[in-house]
Structure 1
Amino acid sequence: MKSTRLIAATSISSLTLVVAGCTDSTTTGSGEFSGKTVCVDQYVSAAPTESIVEGLREALGNATRNGLELEVKNPQGDAGTEATIVQQFISSSCDVLIPVGTAAAQLHANATDEIPVVFAGSSTPVQAGLVESTSAPGGNVTGVSDALPVTEEIDAMLEIDPSIASVGVVWKLGDASGDSQSQDAKRYLDSKGIRSVDAQVQSAADVTQAVRSLQGKADAVQIPGDTTVIGSAGGVVKAANEIELPVFGGTSGAVEAGALLAATYDYKEVGKEAGNLALAILAGADPATTPVVLPPISGYAVNLSTAKSLGLTIPDSILQKATEKY
């Protein structure tokens, strides 16, 4: 993790010089990006994806005011609609593709090896086959990672409730982010002497039943961080509340929906970084040699109301790192 963060920090620094030049040219009205099109596949409506798109719009604002076209489509997680959007983007005049999340990024990356792809929010870009490495992506794909620190979340979970002996891990089977991060979570739980209980889903429609299946088998629920389950965080929390289990992980959107705690990114910043990468590539940067960016984690989101209803106390050591409270 430390080495990846160092790579990310270096990439942010180097890209700033390139992007700064792009921004200056657009503000002077030269229209450097006039006639170019950036195509965004939001994939699903959820708090993180909405924030990412907001950040993208902000980062690309000067360029769009000077002729850059920005097209945003959202299939709402529907596989058929998603496939159609991918084909439309590939066959149209898109100069840079920005898929949000790992699943969308894989579809776009598999559909073209010519159009630059800048993913926005993939927690496992190497494991997902999007890039060869975070420092040297090696193809037409680079982007911004949002690898969630499941180990830190588990540590915080145990600090809040040391009596937890088993944890239900909920993820979408076959999703690169879900598969990888769930394995990370389970390995770390095992190292702590805590039993993990699988609660796999095939789609968002399975989430409620998967969580309910944990009744009597787990003391808490962990969301490792795939787009499908995060987008269904409300359903996870509702089902967990029915069986009186605390929910950890996911994003601040999950905590806002009633989860107890999650490590947080400012997803607007994730969107801004993706927008900056897109501008750099439009200005001539090569995705193959443009490192993946990993923004810093901003802290924890905590839900004090949920803690109170479960009879749990959030320690001061965690509250001091809380960037969002509900």
Structure 2
Amino acid sequence: MTTRRAFLVTLAGGFLVALPAADAAPTRKVPLIGYLASEAETAFGGLNAFRQWLRDLGYVEGQTIAFETRFTNGREERALPLATELVQRGVDVIVARATVSALAAKQATSTIPIVFSEVGDPVARGLVVSIARPGGNATGLGSFESVEVNGKRLALLVEAVPGMARVAVLRYKNPALQELPRSSLDVFREAAQKLGVALQVLHVQQPADLEMAFAAMTRERAGGLVLVGAPFFETHRATILRLTAQHRLPAISTNRSFAEQGGLMAYEEYTPDAERRVAVFVDKILKGAKPADLPVEQPTKLEFIINLRTAKTLGLTIPPSLLGRADEVIQ
């Protein structure tokens, strides 16, 4: 039969030997995608969306694409060892969510293509040479987020809570992540001075630190809280929401899920279909494009969400001028 993959040939000694058919195609390697996220898998649904977008692009898991996934569970010191694991597994592309994961991937390899997302100022961080021409092995979705946006968050919170005298700022302290020349602390200090409020800065590194931090806010009579964006806070969002409710602290976050689940406000960059855009980057790279030639994409809008139910629980009356500027009001 012509469809057989090999022919049986009788040699002089009477032995049968199988010879490969001339038209037999070589086995193709299934591309292996390494996926590194700085959150806990249970706190993040982006991986499923990313996989679905790749299916929409025609990939079949197990046949034309495969995955190796790693999550730091909010412990950012694990990012580099996990990125190194992916490199050792021989992945073809690394998808790195958030700045810490992207920097870890970049440190782990200078040759495997990296597609990052949610990275603030990738040029200053050394991930790319420029937004238009990344010039190395990394590209992806930058973040409209800059340290300056933190001053806006502080101003929104002060406007929402008239008479606030002291505001707390909660940051995740990652010793491995070098501060930019102009850090969020510089912005907060300038904004607090301009707004006439005292600033209480607290750092956490472990879940146990959260209880102590909120107790310190209560002792110092902080009238509100600004959460500085970090995967740690997304991983432990439920604990933070419980503590803000327990201590009756109006709070603003960098993630809309915080406001949707009971926080007072969120002010975040608007990035619709982020996982689709990451999938498109991966697809282009698997088809031969080089990260060095693929411009970094940037979001262009910030979204403001207010939870009025939480405001009523806290006894706050949100000024109409502030409500009018909200992109979404949760009733």
- TM bucket (normalised to shorter chain) is 0.7 to 0.9
Counterpart of 2:311 in structure 1 is 307
Q: 2:84 aligns with which of 77, 87, 98?
A: 87
Deviates more, 1:218-227 or 1:138-147: 138-147
Say whether residues 1:36 and 2:31 are aligned partners: yes
Does the 8 Å CA contact 1:182/1:224 hold for their aligned counterparts? no
Does the 8 Å CA contact 1:166/1:196 hold for their aligned counterparts? yes
Rg larger in structure: 2
The alpha-carbon deviation at position 205 of structure 1 amounts to 3.1
Question: For residue 214 of structure 1, what is the amino acid of its counterpart?
Answer: M
Does the 8 Å CA contact 1:55/1:268 hold for their aligned counterparts? no
Does the 8 Å CA contact 1:204/1:229 hold for their aligned counterparts? no
Does the 8 Å CA contact 2:40/2:73 hold for their aligned counterparts? yes
Change in 2 beyond 3 A, CA 1:178/1:318? farther
Counterpart of 1:104 in structure 2 is 101
Does the 8 Å CA contact 1:269/1:295 hold for their aligned counterparts? no
What is the CA deviation profile of residues 274-321 of structure 1, one whole-angstrom value per residue up to 9, with x for unaligned ones? 222222222333323433222244622322221001111234454453
After TM superposition, the score normalised by the length of structure 2 is: 0.76
The alpha-carbon deviation at position 254 of structure 1 amounts to 1.7
Counterpart of 1:325 in structure 2 is 330
Counterpart of 1:294 in structure 2 is 298
Question: For residue 278 of structure 2, what is the amino acid of its counterpart?
Answer: A
Distance 1:271 1:107 in 2: 20
Say whether residues 1:259 and 2:290 are aligned partners: no
Name the structure with the higher helix share: 1
Does the 8 Å CA contact 1:95/1:116 hold for their aligned counterparts? yes
Equivalent residue runs for 1:105-144 within 5 Å? 105-144=102-141
Change in 2 beyond 3 A, CA 1:123/1:204? farther
Distance 1:54 1:177 in 2: 31
Q: 2:206 aligns with which of 198, 203, 206?
A: 203
Does the 8 Å CA contact 1:123/1:177 hold for their aligned counterparts? no
Counterpart of 2:10 in structure 1 is none
Counterpart of 1:212 in structure 2 is 215
Give me the CA root mean square deviation.
Answer: 3.0
Change in 2 beyond 3 A, CA 1:46/1:34? closer
Question: For residue 237 of structure 2, what is the amino acid of its counterpart?
Answer: A
The alpha-carbon deviation at position 248 of structure 1 amounts to 0.8
Where in structure 2 are there 5+ consecutive unaligned residues?
Answer: 1-27
Does the 8 Å CA contact 2:138/2:291 hold for their aligned counterparts? yes
Distance 1:308 1:114 in 2: 53
Question: For residue 271 of structure 1, what is the amino acid of its counterpart?
Answer: E
The alpha-carbon deviation at position 78 of structure 1 amounts to 4.7
What is the CA deviation profile of residues 138-172 of structure 1, one whole-angstrom value per residue up to 9, with x for unaligned ones? 32122213344333333322332232232211111
Does the 8 Å CA contact 1:54/1:271 hold for their aligned counterparts? no
The alpha-carbon deviation at position 324 of structure 1 amounts to 6.2
Counterpart of 2:13 in structure 1 is none
Where in structure 1 are there 5+ consecutive unaligned residues?
Answer: 1-32
Q: 1:64 aligns with which of 59, 68, 88?
A: 59
Say whether residues 1:146 and 2:143 are aligned partners: yes
Name the structure with the higher strand share: 2
What is the CA deviation profile of residues 205-232 of structure 1, one whole-angstrom value per residue up to 9, with x for unaligned ones? 3223222211224211001201112322
Change in 2 beyond 3 A, CA 1:189/1:80? closer
Distance 1:271 1:110 in 2: 23
Does the 8 Å CA contact 1:197/1:217 hold for their aligned counterparts? no
Partner-residue secondary structure (3-state), 1:44: coil
Does the 8 Å CA contact 2:157/2:252 hold for their aligned counterparts? yes
Distance 1:90 1:208 in 2: 37
The alpha-carbon deviation at position 237 of structure 1 amounts to 2.8
Distance 1:71 1:46 in 2: 13
The alpha-carbon deviation at position 97 of structure 1 amounts to 0.2
Counterpart of 1:250 in structure 2 is 254
Does the 8 Å CA contact 2:271/2:299 hold for their aligned counterparts? no
Q: Paired residues, what number?
A: 293
The alpha-carbon deviation at position 84 of structure 1 amounts to 4.8
Counterpart of 1:164 in structure 2 is 164
Does the 8 Å CA contact 1:134/1:291 hold for their aligned counterparts? yes
Distance 1:283 1:92 in 2: 21
Counterpart of 1:276 in structure 2 is 280
